[in-house]
Structure 1
Amino acid sequence: MQNFVQVGEQLRFTAAADLASGAGVVLGSLFGVNTYAVAAGQDGVARIEGVVRLPKAAGAVTQFAKVYWDDTAKNVTTTATANRLIGAATRAEIAGATTVEVRLDGKAV
């Protein structure tokens, strides 16, 4: 197939701000996780599918619950209001946990 470009689990983007490796990043209608540190204005690569560990808001998360990205707090939450659906939790986490494993869905919202 001559028009194939790439698999699509990871996508290149131009960083709007400095990003650490592993930071969540909103890419227009997609959400991804930055794969390496990148400076503002430079090209980076974000994983938009797969299971990743991300910072979690306060509160417990049940296994396979829908999770959302709070771009202001830069963490995962179970609160849908004003947040972007990014996938589902692959493990339950207690309220005191600081991270949660998320299966990124790679879908545009």
Structure 2
Amino acid sequence: MKNYVQPGEHLTLTMAAAVVSGQLVRVGSIVGVAQGNAAEGEDVVLVRRGVFDLPKTAAQAWTAGAKVYLTTEGDLTTTASGNTLIGVAVEAAANPSAIGRVLLDGAIR
């Protein structure tokens, strides 16, 4: 197949702002976790699929299997309205807690 480029689970993209390794990043409709640090204008590899421990809305309890959404402010929440679905909670997270375990499925929404 001459037109095949790559699997797409890891994408190298140019950052519009500085990012740190492990940070959840949105580039347009693409969401992934930065594999390394990058300054504004530099390239970084975004991992689009897998299970990650990510910052969540602290005052919210999550249950395993709950859909997880990214807000325009960059917070993770289980509130669907006005937010972008990025994956599901892999395990329960208490209220309050700062971190939730999330399965990113790599889908573009």
TM-score by structure 2 length?
Answer: 0.92
Structure 2 unaligned residues grouped into runs of 5+: none
Question: Runs in 1 of length 4+ with deviation above 6 angstroms?
Answer: none
Q: 1:33 maps to which residue?
A: 33
| Contact 1:87–1:103 (Cα < 8 Å) also in 2 | yes
**In the alignment, which residue of structure 1 is the partner of 2:79?**
79
Q: Secondary structure at the match of 2:17?
A: coil
Per-residue deviation, 1:3: 2.8
Cα deviation digits, residues 38-90 of structure 1 (max 9, x gap): 00000111011111111010210000100001231x32100112211000000
C-alpha contact (below 8 Å) 1:54/1:75 kept by paired residues: no
Deviations 1:22-51 (A, max 9, x none): 111112112111111100000111011111
What number of residue pairs does the alignment pair up? 108
Code of the residue aligned with 1:96 in structure 2: it is: P
TM-score by length of 1: 0.92
Q: Is there any run of 5+ residues in structure 1 with no aligned partner, and where?
A: none
Q: Between the two proteins, what is the percent identity of the paired residues? A: 44
Q: How does 1:1-109 map to 2 (within 5 A)?
A: 1-57=1-57, 58-72=59-73, 74-109=74-109
CA RMSD of aligned residues (A): 1.1
